[in-house]
């Protein structure tokens, strides 16, 4: 029955059928005069002949030329090689599935069918799928999108932010049914159980997955304060093919990550997988588990560091106190510290000696002046000139007065100088210096004591806060809020789904105040939980 038909079920082209007017269902009945037909009739005959002779699906390779995409969304282009050209059309419903961007000069493989466009009487190729020649469509689309977003600055390293050293709350955007979310939660719980993790379930592959991921990123940024503050955002999924990971190559996800005010860690696939989200994110993690290790520190290491700092503080405080005590002991052994009054008495004795020498010099000066005066009187008495004597007497009186004033002035000046020297000696007395050092040392000791007490109190409060967080995140606290844990008695495995139990299984349900033992008696147990 199907002898002579091609793979599409059509009969091969037969020129005799065209001449006889049997071109197919669309071919009009033969005219009485076969040599005279209308243009429309001829066009329909050609269309019917092509429909009968050509395969339903063809793949044609050629170079794109004269590409245009009007507002309607359809694609119009020409495929050409060294000798021929072929007009091609791709309707909007098919053009929307093309992942890469066709451009003039690109060599592609177009898959579709050939038909005649009757209004112009020309045959056209109606493409349903386009593939770039020599490279996959998704790979080409990835390279084109990467180049476009890179030129816009979305990959600029200068805009990437460092991750906080001690995050309090982490948001995870991924599938709630995949292994990635379990790896992230288990790693964070193992490394730093005090960190709060918020999981936002989205689809991570398939149609609409990219929009869900981008919308989740925007909603978390908008409601960060209401959630108590989100420090880090992890976006990712487990491994898969390029098609499975394609949602993280969409432009919507890349721009949502770029606009995020929260630092973003991209954890898509395995170490060899790269996505557009990896280049835009602040930090790229090779796997979801690596992302969890990047965002949280090891709590044990942090506590060890705090203990080490506390020990260093205690050693430093003890060393400073011992140094101060040693300096005080040295000062107490100094001679001027043991008997400062004796030193002052020595300086006073030196001052008395200087004053005595000044007075002796003054008396000697007066004696010399008196001797000179007496000698002059004797000389005058021998000469007896009355006028000269009177002048000499007046002059001597003036000189005596000046000498007296000068002597008194010098005496007062020396006395003032020695008094000033005594005051200066008293001002630099070791007693005052010792007192100042003692006061300063007392202040240092008080400040060190208060600092040590304050550091100890801060460390105690921090440890108390960590203890409360640990207690709040423990499974006992969860049980006290009304939850329970169900395990198989045999094997002690936790029951996470009703589908995991079978009739006759013995179960143990742990609550906050005790354990309940039960046995599964209904074979349709799984249906009761749906």
Write out the chain's pLDDT in tens, 530 residues.
Answer: 444 444 444 455 454 444 444 444 444 554 445 578 888 888 888 888 877 777 878 888 888 888 888 888 889 998 887 778 889 999 888 887 877 778 877 778 889 988 888 888 888 889 988 887 755 556 677 777 787 888 888 878 888 888 888 888 999 998 888 888 888 888 888 888 888 899 988 888 888 888 989 999 999 998 888 888 889 999 988 877 667 778 888 888 889 988 888 999 988 877 777 788 888 888 888 888 888 888 888 877 888 888 888 888 988 998 899 888 888 877 777 766 666 777 777 778 888 889 989 989 999 999 999 999 888 888 766 666 666 667 778 888 889 888 889 888 888 888 888 888 877 777 776 777 777 888 888 888 888 888 888 888 888 888 888 888 887 777 777 777 778 888 888 877 888 888 888 888 888 888 878 888 888 887 565 555 44
Is the pTM here over 0.75, yes or no?
A: no
What six digits make up the tokens of 402? Answer: 């000046």
Rounded distance, CA 90 to CA 130, Å? 9
Smallest CA-to-CA distance from 197 within 231, 163, 239 is with: 231
Residue whose entry in the numeric block shows the structure tokens 């060393």 = 319
Question: Strands 283-284 and 264-268, how do they pair?
Answer: parallel
Put the strands of the sheet holding 196-201 in their side by side order.
196-201, 169-174, 232-237, 264-268, 283-284
Residues 6+ apart with CB under 8 A from 331: 337, 434, 437
CATH for 142-297? 3.40.50.261
Residue 527's pLDDT is 55
pLDDT of residue 34: 56
Residue 352 burial class via C-beta count within 10 angstroms: exposed 0-12, middle 13-18, buried 19 and up: exposed
| Distance in angstroms (rounded) separating the CA atoms of residues 115 and 209 | 37
Q: pLDDT value at position 263?
A: 92
Identify the CA nearest to 175 among candidates 156, 202, 197, 193.
202
Q: For 15-131, which CATH class? A: mainly beta
Given this model, what pLDDT does residue 1 score?
42
CA distance 90 to 434: 99
DSSP assignment of 299-331, as one string? HHHHHHHHHHHHHHHHHHHHHHHHHHHHHHHHH
Cα 52 from chain centroid (whole Å): 65
What's the confidence (pLDDT) of residue 338?
A: 66
Q: How far apart are CA 17 and CA 23, in angstroms?
A: 6
- The residue extents of the domains of the chain are 15-131, 142-297, 335-428, 480-528
Cα separation, 519 vs 16, in Å, equals 81
Name the token pair of 156: 């600029």
Per-residue model confidence (pLDDT) at position 232: 92
């Amino acid at each position: 029955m199907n002898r002579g038909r091609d793979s599409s079920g059509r009969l091969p082209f037969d020129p005799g059928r065209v001449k006889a007017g049997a071109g197919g269902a669309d071919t009009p009945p033969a005219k009485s005069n076969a040599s005279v037909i209308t243009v429309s009739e001829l066009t329909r005959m050609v269309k019917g002949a092509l429909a009968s002779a050509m395969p339903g699906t063809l793949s044609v390779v050629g170079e794109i030329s004269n590409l245009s995409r009007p507002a309607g969304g359809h694609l119009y282009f020409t495929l050409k090689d060294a000798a021929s050209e072929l007009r091609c059309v791709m309707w909007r419903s098919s053009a929307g599935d093309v992942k890469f961007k066709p451009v003039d000069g690109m060599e592609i493989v177009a898959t579709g069918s050939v038909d005649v466009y009757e209004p112009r009487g020309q045959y056209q190729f109606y493409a349903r799928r386009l593939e770039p020649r020599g490279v996959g469509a998704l790979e080409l689309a990835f390279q084109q999108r990467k180049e476009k977003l890179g030129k816009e600055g979305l990959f600029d390293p200068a805009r990437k932010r460092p991750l906080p050293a001690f995050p309090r709350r982490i948001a995870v955007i991924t599938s709630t049914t995949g292994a990635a979310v379990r790896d992230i939660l288990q790693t964070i719980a193992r490394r730093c159980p005090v960190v709060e993790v918020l999981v936002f379930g989205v689809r991570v592959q398939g149609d609409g997955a990219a929009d869900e991921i981008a919308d989740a990123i925007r909603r978390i940024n908008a409601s960060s304060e209401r959630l108590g503050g989100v420090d880090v955002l992890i976006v990712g999924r487990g491994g898969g093919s390029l098609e499975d990971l394609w949602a993280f190559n969409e432009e919507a996800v890349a721009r949502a990550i770029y606009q995020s005010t929260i630092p973003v860690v991209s954890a898509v696939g395995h170490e060899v997988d790269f996505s557009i989200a990896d280049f835009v994110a602040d930090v790229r993690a090779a796997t979801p588990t690596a992302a969890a290790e990047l965002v949280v520190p090891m709590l044990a290491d942090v506590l060890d560091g705090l203990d080490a700092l506390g020990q260093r503080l205690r050693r430093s405080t003890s060393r400073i106190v011992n140094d101060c005590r040693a300096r005080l002991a040295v000062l107490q052994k100094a001679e001027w510290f043991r008997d400062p009054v004796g030193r002052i008495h020595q300086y006073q004795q030196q001052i008395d000696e200087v004053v005595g020498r000044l007075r002796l010099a003054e008396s000697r000066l007066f004696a010399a002046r008196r001797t000179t005066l007496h000698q002059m009187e004797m000389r005058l008495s021998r000469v007896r000139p009355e006028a000269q004597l009177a002048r000499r007497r007046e002059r001597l009186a003036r000189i005596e007065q000046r000498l007296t004033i000068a002597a008194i002035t010098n005496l007062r000046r020396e006395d003032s100088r020695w008094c000033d020297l005594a005051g200066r000696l008293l001002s630099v007395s070791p007693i005052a210096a010792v007192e100042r050092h003692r006061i300063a040392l007392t202040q240092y000791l008080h400040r060190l004591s208060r600092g040590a007490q304050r550091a100890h109190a801060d460390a105690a409060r921090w440890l108390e806060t960590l203890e409360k967080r640990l207690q709040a995140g423990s499974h006992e606290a969860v049980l006290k809020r009304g939850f329970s844990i169900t395990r198989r008695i045999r094997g002690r495995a936790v029951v996470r789904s009703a589908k995991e139990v079978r009739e006759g299984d013995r179960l143990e349900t742990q609550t906050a105040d005790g354990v309940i033992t039960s046995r599964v008696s209904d074979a349709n147990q799984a249906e009761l939980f749906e």
